[in-house]
Amino acid sequence: MFIKWTDVMVQQEHVNDLLREAEQERLARQAARRATTDRLFWRIESAVGHWLVDIGCRLQGRVEAARQLVYETHSMGAQARESRPCDNC
């Protein structure tokens, strides 16, 4: 009994189809895994970004309050010095 060449070619084509299908499934799983990872990193980056903006806003508020305090203290000091009888006091 001999094997026909066409049977060998049909089997080889079937094996090639199975390999292509397996590669497509592997790529699909890899893409899904990457999408999940990308979403996770996006959420982390978003949370860190919001946290940094919040910290920056609080810092800006504290700096402005300190600046206002220094300005008021400096203004009061200038007025107090003006009311003193001499410059040496």
Predicted local confidence at residue 73, as pLDDT: 81
Q: How confident is the model at residue 78 (pLDDT cuts 50, 70, 90)?
A: low
Residue with the two structure tokens 């990308």: 38
Predicted local confidence at residue 85, as pLDDT: 46
| pTM exceeds 0.75, yes or no | no
- Segment 39-62 mean pLDDT: 93
Q: Which residue has the higher pLDDT, 40 or 46?
A: 46
The answer to whether residue 74 scores a pLDDT higher than 80 is no
Q: Chain-wide mean pLDDT for the chain? A: 84
Q: Which residue has the higher pLDDT, 77 or 81?
A: 77
Measure the CA–CA gap between 63 and 71, rounded to whole angstroms. 12
Kindly give the residue spans of alpha helices, DSSP state H, lying in the chain: 5-83
